[in-house]
Structure 1
Amino acid sequence: MGGSVEEQIAGLLHDVSHTAFSHVIDFALGNEKEDYHEKIYQKVVMGSEIPGILEKYGYHYKDILIDDPKWTLLEQPAPLLCADRVDYTLRDMYRYDQISLEEAREFLNDLIVHNGRMHLDKIVAAEWFVETYYKEVIGFFMDPLNIYGNHVLSKTLKLAMDKQILTLDDFLKTDQEVISIIKSSKDPRLENLLSQIHDHVGAKEDQTNYDIHIKNKVRLIDPPILLGEGTVMASEVSRKVKVMGENALKKSVKGIYVKVVSN
Structure 2
Amino acid sequence: MIVDDIYGFFEVEPVLQDLILSKPVQRLKGIHQGGASFLVNKEWNVSRYEHSVGVMLLIRKLGGTLQEQIAGLLHDVSHTAFSHVIDFVLDNESEDFHEEIFEETIMDSEIPSILKHHGFSIEEIMKGDHSLLEQPLPLLCADRIDYTLRDMYRYGYLSKLEIVLFMEKLCVSRGLICIKGTEQAEWFVEAYYKEVLDFFMNPLNVYGYDRLTKLLKEALELDVITLSDFKLTDEEVLQKVRTSNKSSLVARYEGLIKPVKLQENEIEFDIHLKGKPRLIDPTVIIDGKLVEGSNISHKIKEMNTKAKKRAEKGSYIKVL
**Counterpart of 1:197 in 2: which secondary structure?**
helix
Q: SS of the counterpart of 2:261?
A: strand
Match of 1:17 among 75, 78, 93: 78
Residue in structure 1 matched with residue 236 of structure 2 by the alignment: 177
**1:122-146 residue CA offsets vs partner (Å, 9 max, x unmatched):** 1001100000000000000000110
1:110 to 169, 174, 179: 169
Taking the aligned partners of 1:203 and 1:171, their CA distance within structure 2 comes to 29
Distance in 1, matches of 2:229 and 2:195, equals 28
Correspondence 1:99-248 to 2 at 5 A: 99-248=158-307
The two structures have a TM-score, normalised by structure 1, of: 0.96
Q: 1:51 aligns with which of 102, 112, 118?
A: 112
1:33 and 2:81 are equivalent in the alignment: no
* Residue in structure 2 matched with residue 74 of structure 1 by the alignment: 133
Deviation at 1:195, TM superposition (A): 2.0
User: 1:201 aligns to what SS in structure 2?
Assistant: coil
Compute the RMSD of aligned alpha carbons.
1.1
CA contact 1:119–1:225 (8 Å) conserved in 2: yes
Tell me which residue corresponds to 1:8.
69
Letter in 2 for 1:6: Q
Question: Which amino acid in 2 is paired with 1:175?
Answer: D
Q: How many percent of aligned residue pairs carry the same amino acid?
A: 49
The alpha-carbon deviation at position 209 of structure 1 amounts to 1.1
- Tell me, in whole angstroms, the C-alpha distance in 2 between the residues paired with 1:117 and 1:252: 26
Q: Could you list the runs of 5+ residues in structure 1 that have no partner in the other structure?
A: none
Matched-pair contact (CA < 8 Å) for 1:73–1:118? yes
Find the aligned partners of 1:214 and 1:123 in 2 and give their Cα distance.
Answer: 33
- Superposed CA offset, 1:169-228 (max 9, x none): 111111111001112222122122112213421222111111101101111101011122
Residues 145 and 204, structure 1, Cα contact 8 Å, conserved in 2: no
Q: 1:230 corresponds to which letter in structure 2?
A: K
Counterpart of 1:255? 314
Please tell me whether the aligned partners of residues 222 and 233 of structure 1 are also in contact (alpha carbons under 8 angstroms). yes
Runs of 4+, deviation exceeding 2 Å: none
Instruction: Tell me the TM-score normalized by structure 2.
Output: 0.79
Q: Deviations over 1:42-98 (max 9, x none)?
A: 111111111111111101211112x15x11111000000000000100000011011
SS at match of 1:120: strand
Partners of 1:77 and 1:198 in 2: CA distance: 35
SS in 2 for 1:17: coil
- Report how far residue 255 of structure 1 moved: 0.8
Deviation, structure 1 residue 260: 1.0
In the alignment, structure 2 segments of 5+ residues that lack a partner are 1-61
Amino acid at match of 1:24: V
Shift of 1:241: 0.7
Query: Counterpart of 2:256 in 1: which secondary structure?
Result: coil
User: How many equivalent pairs are there?
Assistant: 259
State how far apart, in whole Å, the 2-side matches of 1:27 and 1:105 are.
Answer: 36
User: Aligned partners of 2:205, 2:261: CA distance in 1, in Å?
Assistant: 10
Separation in structure 1 between the aligned mates of residue 243 and residue 299 of structure 2, nearest angstrom: 51
The one of the two structures with greater contact order (alpha-carbon pairs below 8 A, sep at least 6) is: 1
